[in-house]
Structure 1
Amino acid sequence: MLYYALVFLVVAIVAAFFGFGGIAGTSAGIAQILFFLFLVFFVISLITGIVRR
């Protein structure tokens, strides 16, 4: 999931460089959502790992 967030971030940067504002904004939004989902799943896995000990 973090890989896809980075891919969308790169797409957003490239689109912004070439002047495609709508595509850049959408890609940046998707990258942000995927990054926060990754963080949530990471915290959940840490908590479950601590509880199982």
Structure 2
Amino acid sequence: MFRQVSQWHFDYVICSKEDFSIKFVMELGDSSLDRPDRKKRDSILNSICIDAYVVIKRM
């Protein structure tokens, strides 16, 4: 699983300018969001963000 997840990225990572801690991450959406493989990816990323206490925003 690590090998797969390590190849993914967020479109934006918004950090605090004081200490560079992550405030939230952003994913920009398009029509690919409806594909089954993309839904699986997004579900995995949601779980990872929850475990890491990182807010994920999708636009």
Q: TM-score, normalised by structure 1?
A: 0.40
- Larger Rg, first or second structure (1 or 2): 1
Higher strand share: 2
Identify the structure with the greater helix proportion.
1
